[in-house]
Amino acid sequence: MYSHGSESLIKQAREIQDSELQKFYSRLVKLLQGKELGYEMVDSLQRLHLILSANKYIRTLPPELQKRLQSLLSSPAEQFQVLSSAVLRETLPPAAHSGNYSQENIVQLNGHAAALLLSQAGSRADVSSLCTQLLRGLESRQSEGPTNSLTHTLPILNTILTHNPECLTEDHVTLLSKKLVDWLRYASILQGGGASSGGFFTGPRSRQPVPIAELDGTVSGDFFTVLCVGQSFTEDQWMNVFSFSALRHWLLTYHSVSNGNGTADTDDRSEVDGSVVSMVSATSSSSRLLPPKERLREKSFQYCQRLIEQSDRKAHKKSDADLQKACLVEAVCILDCVCEEDASLVFRAFPCIKALFGRLSSDLSFARVLLPIAQFYLNHGEMAAVDCGSVWALVFGRFPSELFNDPFLAHELLRFLRLNLESLQLRVPQYTHSFPNLLKFLAWDSPAVVDDFVDLLPSLVTAGTAVELLHTLLDLPCLSATLVLQVRSTCLPISEQSGRGLLSLDAFRSPSFRGLFLFLLRGEAGSGDTIDRLSTLHELLVETADWPRVVQCAQIVPVLLHIFFNTVITVADEKLLAHLILVMLERSSLLLNIPKYNKEIHRVFSSHLLRLCKLHPSLVMDQSHELLEFSGATANVYSKEEIYTHVVWVLGEYLSVSCDSRCSVTLITSCFEALEAVLFEITSSVPPPGADCPAPRVVTTLMSALAKLASRSHDLIPRVSLFLSKLRTVTRGGSVAWCSDEEDLVAIVTRGEELWSLLKAPGVAQSVLTPPAHVTTPQWHRDTNVALPLRLRTLTNLTHSH
Amino acid sequence: MVRCFLIHTVCPVNALGAGESRVLYCRVFGPDESLFTDQEREFSPEERRVLQREQTAVVARQVHSAASLSRGAAGRLLMEALPGEEALALQEADSGVLRLRAGDPFPEEMSALWLGVQSLGFTLVCEPHENLLLAEGTLRTLTRHCLEHLHLLGPGSEVLLRSDRIDALLSRLLPHGQLLFLNHRFAHSLEKEVAAYMTK
């Protein structure tokens, strides 16, 4: 497909020498002068296009060539229109640019020349003038004139409107609204071109106009829409297609803006009064009296209702069936849009939408159609007092649990959640409990949707579900593996032939482990934070640790954990935070064994443990028992070095009376003893088989922690000093079994000496190692005693004394 | 509205770094958006073009990355379809949709739908409230036509030298970036015009 040949072509085009290029230009000019529009011309133009587009820096063509190419834009042969337009698009517009603009009338240009003009627009004014020309052309249009210029009007206007809705005046909007109504509602219902149905005996006389048909072949009984077919089409039927294609954008641009101008029209409205809300649907017979915008709204409404009815028919071709789905989406969205604007339409629209929902809700292949319906319910359900329970059961229940592997549905559903977050949190109570289901999208295809979850996760963190959410996030790779197994299990027969994934698949299918997997696959939170046999589950899934989905998932978990912790401190009380610390300690050894995963999670835990304890130092006291137990286990030094270091640090830092008055001497002493024991052990023996030497940071942190604790309970000082001096003696003998690097050893010993000399003066040690609050949180600029401006003023006064 | 349509590589290219994608065809629709954002200074046409090229390069790179990850996760082997097997190649194609955040690289948020057919990616960048079902269908149709009329399953370089065919195709099926609701009769009519152009 993409070959070496293409690469070298691009290289040649980029590296063409200027002299060669000039020769090429002059040859081209000669060809263009000759007016012989043959194969050589086409080939040369194509090569020119490649040369110009191969570079990101723009080139200027010689003026003669530019002029000739410009004239080629109106060539009768389409290929030259296309080629010249493409080439000119890659060059700088000519210097007399603005002059060009007012001269060209876009209405008379073909589609390709019009595209060029649009792309060369240099300012807002240019674009506005294009707009004006197009609309003038529309206004003054008689039945003559090339068809293509008319069909391109709507797309061009539409693309301009995306950026610059203000370029249409109120009159323009009115004009276009009227035109749109004509094309949408009053297009011809006969097939175009006088097409005969053929046959041997049909002659010119029997060429009667044939009515259009529906997609299932029956003769159409109502006005023309995009879902009507015929042998060939008239111009206004084409405009019907273009109008509907542009309709939603038009309505969103000009109708969703709450316009004060609308109130001026209410005097004209005799029939449809917005303040009278009618449950019985009003007939539209009086719509002729409505002003243009409101009339367009009414006709759009009717068009959409007709489309919804037409979509129930069984189309003969698959492409038409797909189009029916797309039309349903569009129709529901347009109905939503017009109902936003005119609330009285809600009562007319709801029966239709409800019926549609009833028809489609059990068919998962229409899931993407049901999302706009859910949006409609969310926007208008309250007003119409309709029960939306079954809608949310689908969106938060069946869709994530059964369609997690549809990337388009995932994208649209998550987008729906992002856009309606506030509304959902208010109206859908089960939203915050639906995270086990929603996270399935993430577990299946992390790279594609992690961005959406970065935005959504904070809304799912509540005090009631925080612990369960933490466990679920930590086990996201397990969920990933389970979903893969689930998909494999349904695809492959029971007698599994391929060797890969055999053990875990067996486990997935076996009844004795079913409960474990079912817990992971649960749809709602609330049935328990996690399972007891988590380690069993991890063992069963050990072979999945190198599956691509599992690995991708493991990579994004740390990011989500950061978001989780950043959010949870805003909603949690101290009791919950203490519980979370407990979970962190427990789970640090209970994770699926994926390379680097454990280390990354430990790092996240460590940084947040630190942060939590800094914010609420009394947490250390609350969880002192667990923290002590954790720090007293020597094995943790080797297997969970990062967390261990931080646990020891927080113990040393925050286990003091100044942080929490419940702290007693006994507690400090027992903590001291636990840490002392570990320090002795790791500095007196060889590390256990399979483990590296303890990192120097662990040793120094232990020493510092001991010193800090000793500074608070002075009886302990002699014990520390003794240890530190012993350490100095031992290490003087040279290398030790527990430290492989000489520089590290020197650093450790230096730290030991510093602490030893500090502890010789207990009072000083206390103020250095357990500083009071006003020292650790300086307020230089806020404290009147030490504020810099004050000091400066004082100094100035002293030195400039008059 | 569709902002742009790209054809680019989704396979490693020797001349480029890892993860880089070569853009083989790029068509941006509509007036340049930098005209309408409030800038401190106005961009010159040269600067605007460079900006546009860099934006499309970013999109191509992101789609390349998404396609590689998706293919890796699916674990399927890439089968090489031969010329004539366009329908099969399309059926086997990977597809997905990417969220492009506001500012990365377009000023507003966009959705990039992509189809990966062997070593080439076909990408439509749409505004987010666009009808993605319709966009997906349109992308598949465009890709099918590109595969057929540019003989992309063969070893040639027609995508570079016959880009006018893609322009003609887009002017019918995606005029100025407008997605069209075409039933099979309307589509047939347009495809006849396209076929007539291609045979010239």
CB nearest to B15's CB, from A7, A56, A126: A7
Could you give the number of structural domains in chain B? Answer: 1
Whether residues A329 and B134 touch (CB distance < 8 A) is answered with: yes
Domain enclosing residue B179, as ranges = 2-199
Is the predicted pLDDT of residue A412 greater than 90, yes or no?
yes
Whether residues A121 and B136 touch (CB distance < 8 A) is answered with: no
Average pLDDT, chain A: 86
Q: How far apart are the first and last CA of chain B?
A: 30
Mean pLDDT of the region A358-379: 95
Chain B contact for A165, CB < 8 A? no
Measured in angstroms, the CA of A451 and the nearest CA of chain B are apart by: 8
Chain A residues with CB under 8 Å of B95 CB are: 407-408
- B:79-118 residues touching chain A, CB 8 A cutoff: 95-99, 101, 111, 117-118
Whether residues A448 and B101 touch (CB distance < 8 A) is answered with: no
Whether residues A448 and B98 touch (CB distance < 8 A) is answered with: yes
User: At A263, is the pLDDT very low, low, confident or very high (cuts 50, 70, 90)?
Assistant: very low
From A503-517, A586-600, A776-790, B154-168, the region with the lowest mean pLDDT: A776-790
pLDDT tens digits for range B141-187: 999 999 999 888 888 788 888 999 999 999 999 999 999 999 999 99
Whether residues B168 and A78 touch (CB distance < 8 A) is answered with: yes
pLDDT score, position A201: 52
Mean pLDDT of the region A648-666: 91
Residue at A254: amino acid letter: Y
pLDDT score, position A200: 53
pLDDT score, position A553: 96
Chain B contact for A85, CB < 8 A? yes
pLDDT score, position A572: 94
CB nearest to B136's CB, from A49, A408, A445: A408
pLDDT higher for A767 or B113?
A: B113
pLDDT tens digits for range A628-638: 999 999 999 99
Is the predicted pLDDT of residue A616 greater than 60, yes or no?
yes
Chain B contact for A418, CB < 8 A? no
Chain A contact for B77, CB < 8 A? no
pLDDT score, position B133: 96
In angstroms, rounded to a whole number, what is the distance separating the alpha carbons of residues A538 and A590? 8
Mean pLDDT of the region A653-679: 92
pLDDT tens digits for range A714-758: 899 999 999 998 888 887 877 788 888 888 888 898 899 899 988
Mean pLDDT of the region A332-361: 94
CB nearest to B181's CB, from A57, A231, A327: A327
pLDDT tens digits for range A682-707: 988 888 888 888 889 999 999 999 99
Which percentage of chain A shows pLDDT scores above 70? 88
CB nearest to B1's CB, from A121, A126, A158: A158
pLDDT higher for B81 or A521?
A: A521
User: What CATH number did the domain enclosing B190 receive?
Assistant: 3.30.450.60
pLDDT score, position B115: 97
Report the chain A residue with the minimal C-alpha distance to residue B35. Answer: A123
Phi/psi-derived region of residue A233, left when phi > 0, alpha when psi is between -120 and 50, beta in every other case: beta
Measured in angstroms, the CA of A693 and the nearest CA of chain B are apart by: 38
pLDDT tens digits for range A12-45: 898 888 899 999 999 999 888 876 678 888 999 9
Measured in angstroms, the CA of B181 and the nearest CA of chain A are apart by: 6
Cβ atoms of A554 and A450 within 8 Å: the answer is no
Mean pLDDT of the region A554-562: 97
What are the φ and ψ backbone dihedral angles of A760, each rounded to 5 degrees?
Answer: -65, -25
For an interface test with A, the pick among B147, B164, B199 (most A C-beta atoms closer than 10 Å) comes out as: B164
Is the predicted pLDDT of residue A278 greater than 50, yes or no?
no
DSSP class per residue in A568-634: HHHH--HHHHHHHHHHHHHHTT-S---TTHHHHHHHHHHHHHHHHHHH-THHHHHTHHHHHHHHH-T
pLDDT score, position A264: 38
From A66-70, A208-212, A510-514, the region with the lowest mean pLDDT: A208-212
Can you say whether the dihedral through the CA atoms of A190, A194, A198, A204 is positive or negative? positive
A vs B: CB pairs below 8 A:
236
* Cα atoms found within 13 Å of the Cα of residue A583, Cβ hemisphere only: 22
pLDDT tens digits for range A50-95: 999 988 788 888 888 988 898 888 888 899 999 999 999 988 876 5
Chain B residues with CB under 8 Å of A57 CB are: 46, 49-50
pLDDT tens digits for range B110-145: 999 999 998 999 999 999 889 999 999 999 999 999
pLDDT tens digits for range A380-395: 988 888 889 999 999 9
pLDDT tens digits for range A443-466: 999 999 999 999 999 999 999 999
User: At A317, is the pLDDT very low, low, confident or very high (cuts 50, 70, 90)?
Assistant: very high
CB nearest to B176's CB, from A83, A155, A548: A155
User: At A474, is the pLDDT very low, low, confident or very high (cuts 50, 70, 90)?
Assistant: very high
User: At A195, is the pLDDT very low, low, confident or very high (cuts 50, 70, 90)?
Assistant: very low
- B:128-187 residues touching chain A, CB 8 A cutoff: 128-129, 131-134, 136-137, 152-153, 155-157, 159-164, 167-168, 171, 175-187
User: At A277, is the pLDDT very low, low, confident or very high (cuts 50, 70, 90)?
Assistant: very low
Is the predicted pLDDT of residue A280 greater than 50, yes or no?
no
The three-point CA angle A763-A765-A771 to 5° equals 95
Cβ atoms of A656 and A700 within 8 Å: the answer is no
Q: Measured between alpha carbons, how far is residue A329 from residues A154, A556, A598, A632 in Å? A: 21, 33, 45, 62
Measured in angstroms, the CA of B19 and the nearest CA of chain A are apart by: 15
